[in-house]
Amino acid sequence: MIDAVRKLTPSYRSPRTCQRGTTLVELIMFIVIIGAALAGILQVMNLTTGHSADTMLRKQAIVIANSLLEEVELMPFTVCDPDDPNAASAVLASDCTGGAGGPNDESRLPLGPETAASVGGAEGRYTAPQFDNVDDYNGFTMAAGTGMYDISHNTVTGLNSYAASITVAQTTPQTALGAIPAAQSLFITVIVTAPDGSQVKLDGYRTRYAPNSF
């Protein structure tokens, strides 16, 4: 009689039907799913962490390249070397001391710093007489491991592993500046190599807006 009443009572459940839990199969499936999810998250974190340093290296390389390009573009673009007494008035290379093609002719090829035969003497970036014209920077380099220096030869801390090179060339009629004579416009290329081997390349133009432009 009591058993019959219990069976008819809705709130009654037998001890066996009230038991609840996780089977071994369910537990294994849970572990597998969570493990796969964690593995994916860890891979993303490792990739992000690994490339965060690359981003910093690239940003530093861009800053170095920008600084060098700006330094070159701000230099005078005179017909004669600025140390030449005729630099302020010279309109043609023949007006320079030594004439066209001479050591003070800034349009002579190949472009680059003046030699000891020039009026000012052999030019360098760090020693007087220093680079004083845009084309003087053609061929200039700073090798990795030797230090990165500003124009006053002060070491830039933390950039010892970077390398930089600069090329300056006369433009050609095929360039975007074709309307300007080649001798009156220069194409500047700065390449900076980061410690991981990646490179940043920046290009710029410098035009002569007056024959004796400073």
pLDDT tens string, the chain, 214 residues long: the values are 555 545 555 555 555 555 566 788 888 888 888 888 888 888 877 776 655 556 888 999 999 999 999 999 999 999 999 999 998 889 899 999 999 999 899 988 899 999 888 888 999 999 899 999 999 999 999 999 988 999 989 999 889 999 999 999 988 755 656 677 777 889 999 999 999 999 999 999 998 887 777 7
**Cα maximum dimension of the chain:** 131
CA-only gyration radius of the chain, Å:
35
Q: Is the pTM of this model over 0.75?
A: no
Query: What is the per-residue pLDDT for 107?
Result: 87
What sign for the dihedral angle of Cα 129, 145, 46, 44? positive
Question: Which H or E run includes 193?
Answer: strand 185-193
Query: What is the per-residue pLDDT for 188?
Result: 95
Look up residue 175 and give its two tokens: 């360039």
Q: How far is CA 41 from the centre of its chain?
A: 31
> Cα–Cα distance between 18 and 31 in angstroms, integer?
26
Query: What is the per-residue pLDDT for 177?
Result: 63
> Cα–Cα distance between 208 and 62 in angstroms, integer?
26
Query: What is the per-residue pLDDT for 4?
Result: 53
Measured in degrees and rounded to the nearest 5, phi and psi for residue 116 equal -65, -20
Nearest to 132 by CA among 193, 87, 199: 87
Please, which residues have CB within 8 angstroms of residue 145's CB and are 6 or more apart in sequence? Answer: 160, 161
Query: What is the per-residue pLDDT for 23?
Result: 84
Query: What is the per-residue pLDDT for 111?
Result: 93
**Position of tokens 């089977």?**
23
